[in-house]
Amino acid sequence: MGEKTFIDWLRGRIRLGPNVPVGPGDDAAVIRPDGEVVVTADAFLEGTHFPADAPPARIGHKVIAASVSDVAAMGCFPVASFVTVGFSRARDEAFVRELGEAMIAAAEKYGAPIAGGDVTSWDQPLAVSVTVLGETRGLRPVLRSGARPGDRIFVTGSLGGSLSGRHLDAEPRVREGIFLNREAGASAMIDISDGLSADLSHVARESGVGAVVREAAIPVSEAARALEKEDGRAALRHALDDGEDFELLFTVAPDRAEWLRGSWSFDLALTEIGEITEEGVFIERPDGVREKLEPRGYEHRWRE
């Protein structure tokens, strides 16, 4: 399927809203944004971001979900996605179509239909790049740099175990991110892609603050516990360092924390794990001893 064929195929399949007056097929798409625009771009490379034998439907889902997750972490509304795909000629047409269908479905599900892109075959492994645009609709984007000493640190869902394939089923926390922005006034937010230890360090660094998290409070996933049995690495370490959880890590002012605990109605765990401090990022063991929390997350999990 050449680029032109793909664009034609795509045009017949996607449904664009009135905020995307021009979609695939021209030199550029046209977006009519409500407010400011947030933009995120990520590459997904075979053997690095997904294994070579991953099913195309799961790859397609992941590349969109992981990208939309960045818009969720800004507390903004996804609007449109743009994908470029370089795929090996050794892949059959069914592979490319399933990949495309999964991307189209995921992008529509999260409110960011595919509005453009480009498909090329080459003699190399699959290389996908995804750009997602979001809009603020009158809200301010939640940055990594807004955490202040005394703010409470929360995380959604449970962490760890992406290594066992969980990353392919990522669910971006779009509605939760908007709620945390608009209703809870989150002061800083990030999605957990590098791992809690690394992403908390990013927030601390960008905000010029420190943090302490309580070991006993970390929501360790079942997948992390299962992995501990396989590889002998503590489930807690998986939860701290595995990354690609695509859960939201965020901070709220102390006076908003109690309101948030009482108002959270999503079918997703919400856990308060610690507090923003003046400096240094620490983990507090159950016996009260604080240890430095080193950012040990990998950037790229699937390096083979």
**What does the binding site for its own copies look like in residue numbers (CB under 8 A)?**
2-4, 21-22, 25-33, 36-43, 45-49, 70-71, 73-74, 76, 80, 82-86, 115-118, 120, 122-125, 127, 129, 131-134, 136, 141, 143-145, 189-191, 206, 299-300
Q: What are phi and psi of 270, to 5 degrees?
A: -125, 125
Residue placing its CB nearer to its own copies in the complex, 129 or 156? 129
**Shortest distance, position 136 Cβ to its own copies, whole Å:** 8
Residue placing its CB nearer to its own copies in the complex, 129 or 227? 129
C-alpha separations of 148 from 198, 233, 258, 279, 281 in Å: 18, 33, 17, 11, 14
Residue placing its CB nearer to its own copies in the complex, 214 or 243? 243
Alpha-helical runs (H) found in 117-218: 174-182, 196-207
Give the C-alpha separation, 143 to 141, whole Å.
6
**Shortest distance, position 119 Cβ to its own copies, whole Å:** 8
**Shortest distance, position 69 Cβ to its own copies, whole Å:** 8
**Shortest distance, position 299 Cβ to its own copies, whole Å:** 5
Any bridge partners for residue 283, and if so which? Answer: 213, 291
Residue placing its CB nearer to its own copies in the complex, 166 or 202? 202
Q: Are 169 and 54 in contact (CB under 8 A)?
A: no
**Shortest distance, position 39 Cβ to its own copies, whole Å:** 5
Give the helix/strand (H/E) hosting 128: strand 127-135
Give the C-alpha separation, 277 to 284, whole Å.
13
**Shortest distance, position 163 Cβ to its own copies, whole Å:** 18
Q: Strand order of the sheet with strand 270-277? A: 188-191, 248-252, 152-156, 270-277, 210-214, 281-284, 290-292
Q: Are 160 and 221 in contact (CB under 8 A)?
A: yes
**Residues contacting residue 221 through CB under 8 Å, at least 6 positions apart:** 157, 158, 159, 160, 161, 166, 238, 239, 245
**Shortest distance, position 230 Cβ to its own copies, whole Å:** 26
Residue placing its CB nearer to its own copies in the complex, 139 or 226? 139
Residue placing its CB nearer to its own copies in the complex, 3 or 272? 3
Residue placing its CB nearer to its own copies in the complex, 261 or 300? 300
Question: Cβ atoms within 10 A of the Cβ of 101, count?
Answer: 15
